[in-house]
Structure 1
Amino acid sequence: MKRKVIKQGNNTLTLTLPRKWTDKLNIKAGEELEVVEKDKSLVIGGHKDTREQKISADVSSLDRSTIMTLLQGFYRYGYDYVEISTKNPIVPHYRTDKKVTVSSVIYDTTNRIIGAEVISASQNRYVIKRLTEESIEDFPTALRRIFLLLNEMFETFVSALEVGNKTSNKLSSNKATSDNELSNKEFLESIEFQHTNIKKFINFCLRLLNKYGYDDTRKTCFYFHIISLLSKTEDIVKNNSRYILKHNLKLKEPHFFELLKYIQTSSRMYYELFYSYDLNKISQLNKHRDMFRSKLFSAEKKLSKEESIIIGGLSQIIELILDMSETRMAMDG
């Protein structure tokens, strides 16, 4: 929509607002509005909408994972009040082939979001409500926390597999293990807690972007894309950790651990690129990816079936990182 600029006096220019805008935003004559200069645009802010955003859903026919995804989606969208109803207090958990309560699913989900809690609970109805204030100013801190926690998760994962390899070698050579040494099972189990913690900050960042937008509005979609791929990255680590635990895999081949370190290094390189942008670092990431591929193909026949499955799954991370690198380039024009 185009609006004509009207000159009033020697130094004042006036711009009129359409009636439908002022009615929708409840803007009255004499009130003050925030006007912000963004590049070549002027952004006129209306009143802050303080109304509580509400939604309800019936989850009677859903499984545990779908309910969790739905609730996190509501939170990311920006809802402040979510009412859940169900005719079935017990739902299937397909991954474990067990039944779980809707109550446990809802409380598990609130562990993955910031600032919202269950304020009402019965067998057939639950209410989740945002209780704390939030601001887009919290976004940079939360985003950096995602990166740091992801690197920490990688460190735990690699350490777990190295510990498992050392323990296996000790047992095969009849050497005793220390009571103070953590087992690879304990390391891998701790990844579940790290996964929950990372998801908490991922959900929070996506909520802030959806609800308030980034200061430079053109970058909102870029940040959303990067954070979504960081979420996929940590999911890959988590899922492989679960697979190793479930099948009690023994991973021993040195080439496997070399490839694993390549993937871990890619994550660290991207973190450095993101916060210290340099085109040469993107070039190094591309080089690193090609070196990884070369070593993967040359080591293929030396890896066990189980090692090939794990590395094959984890290798997706390198491609995700290159995708994030392209997005990081776009952010800097």
Structure 2
Amino acid sequence: MRRKIIKQGNNSYTMTLPISWIKENSLEGGSEIDLLEEENKLILARPRDAKHPESSISFDLNGYNERTILNIINQNYRKGYDKFILKTDNKDQKLTIKKIIKESILGFEVTENNKDHIIIQNIAEPSPDKFDVILRKTFFIIKDDGEELINKLKNNKKPNLTQFQENKDLMDNYTNFLRRITINAKIGGSRKSYLNYYFISELSHIQHAYFYLVKSIINNKTDAGFTNLVNETNKHFDLLETAYYKKDINLAHEISSNKTKLQKEIFNLLNQNNNKEATYHLGEIIRHTHLASTVLFGMMN
């Protein structure tokens, strides 16, 4: 889309904005917008704290299973929809929807439950300016999981799976919300918003790997070699947190180097008669921590 610049007086220039964009964002004469300079671009956006007009979407759930319903809700929630009209008269599907809302969608509730449909809606979602606070909370959840796990292993005690499940539900709520506002508020600008989205997704994968690791060792024994590697893996993640907040490219490079060493230890454990499932999930924590660190090379400037 191209627009002509109109000269106003000696030092001012104006241009018209597309009416479709004005209507879509519920703007009018006198409304404020944010301007972001990015190299040779000038990006116009609604202010982060502005109330966005409610958007809705409708789906006929047919005979869809829980996983498909989860995908429908999660992906369209991340796109920014505020209201879902889900057509179903199936009681089990409605229970599934309520479960998904509780475990994965921050600030949404069921607002209607009729015979042939159920409506879920945004009623208490945090504002986008909570991005940094909630991102720090996701780091805290992962570190809490790692510390709880290593303490149990060192003391030959079984981890409390319920605690890790609660953290997983919290993590899903937080990372879904962070991805939603990253898309809609372009967190980091147009160039870095994709990197933010990818980074947040990797944090989600890391926490999930901790959960499934714990699940796999509840009724299985581990040895000192496994415990030591869990401890090293926790330090590996601590390095990611430090690299992210210090914007330190050398620490990001160190994560890459550590990954190679840690993966060799994973392969050694897999070749022994240990809990291969738990070792696999530990390897996934290492792998996703490294993948998260690769994003930092594009976020340092």
Same fold (TM over 0.5): yes
Coarse TM-score class (shorter-chain normalised): 0.7 to 0.9
User: C-alpha separation between the residues in 1 aligned to 2:243 and 2:10?
Assistant: 50
Q: 1:286 to 1:216 in 2, by over 3 A?
A: same
Q: Which residue number corresponds to residue 239 of structure 2?
A: 269
TM-score (norm 1): 0.78
Shift of 1:191: 0.7
Rg larger in 1 or in 2? 1
Q: Secondary structure at the match of 2:85?
A: strand
Shift of 1:46: 6.4
User: C-alpha separation between the residues in 1 aligned to 2:184 and 2:25?
Assistant: 17
Give the partner amino acid of 1:263. Answer: T
Shift of 1:220: 0.8
> What are the superposed Cα offsets for residues 134-169 of structure 1, whole Å, 9 maximum, x if unpaired?
432111111111111111122223334444xx25xx
Count the aligned residue pairs.
297
User: C-alpha separation between the residues in 2 aligned to 1:219 and 1:326?
Assistant: 13
User: C-alpha separation between the residues in 2 aligned to 1:5 and 1:139?
Assistant: 35
Q: 1:305 to 1:124 in 2, by over 3 A?
A: farther
Give the partner amino acid of 2:84. Answer: V
Q: Secondary structure at the match of 2:192?
A: helix
8 A contact 1:160–1:188 mirrored in 2: no
Shift of 1:11: 2.1
Q: Secondary structure at the match of 1:315?
A: helix
Alignment of 1:128-143 (within 5 A): 128-132=120-124, 134-143=126-135
8 A contact 1:259–1:311 mirrored in 2: no
User: C-alpha separation between the residues in 2 aligned to 1:23 and 1:58?
Assistant: 28
User: C-alpha separation between the residues in 2 aligned to 1:76 and 1:229?
Assistant: 16
Shift of 1:87: 4.1
Q: Which residue number corresponds to residue 164 of structure 2?
A: 191
Q: 1:161 to 1:73 in 2, by over 3 A?
A: farther
Identical counterparts, % of pairs: 23
Q: 1:67 to 1:297 in 2, by over 3 A?
A: closer
Shift of 1:215: 4.9
User: C-alpha separation between the residues in 1 aligned to 2:77 and 2:201?
Assistant: 15
8 A contact 2:33–2:44 mirrored in 1: yes
Q: Which residue number corresponds to residue 226 of structure 1?
A: 199
User: C-alpha separation between the residues in 1 aligned to 2:23 and 2:123?
Assistant: 30
For structure 1, which runs of at least 5 residues remain unmatched after alignment? 90-100, 168-183
Give the partner amino acid of 2:300. Answer: D
Q: Which residue number corresponds to residue 105 of structure 1?
A: 96
Q: How well do the aligned residues superpose, as a CA RMSD in angstroms?
A: 2.7
TM-score (norm 2): 0.86
Give the partner amino acid of 1:68. Answer: L
Q: Which residue number corresponds to residue 261 of structure 2?
A: 291
> What are the superposed Cα offsets for residues 252-281 of structure 1, whole Å, 9 maximum, x if unpaired?
x21111112222221111011111121221
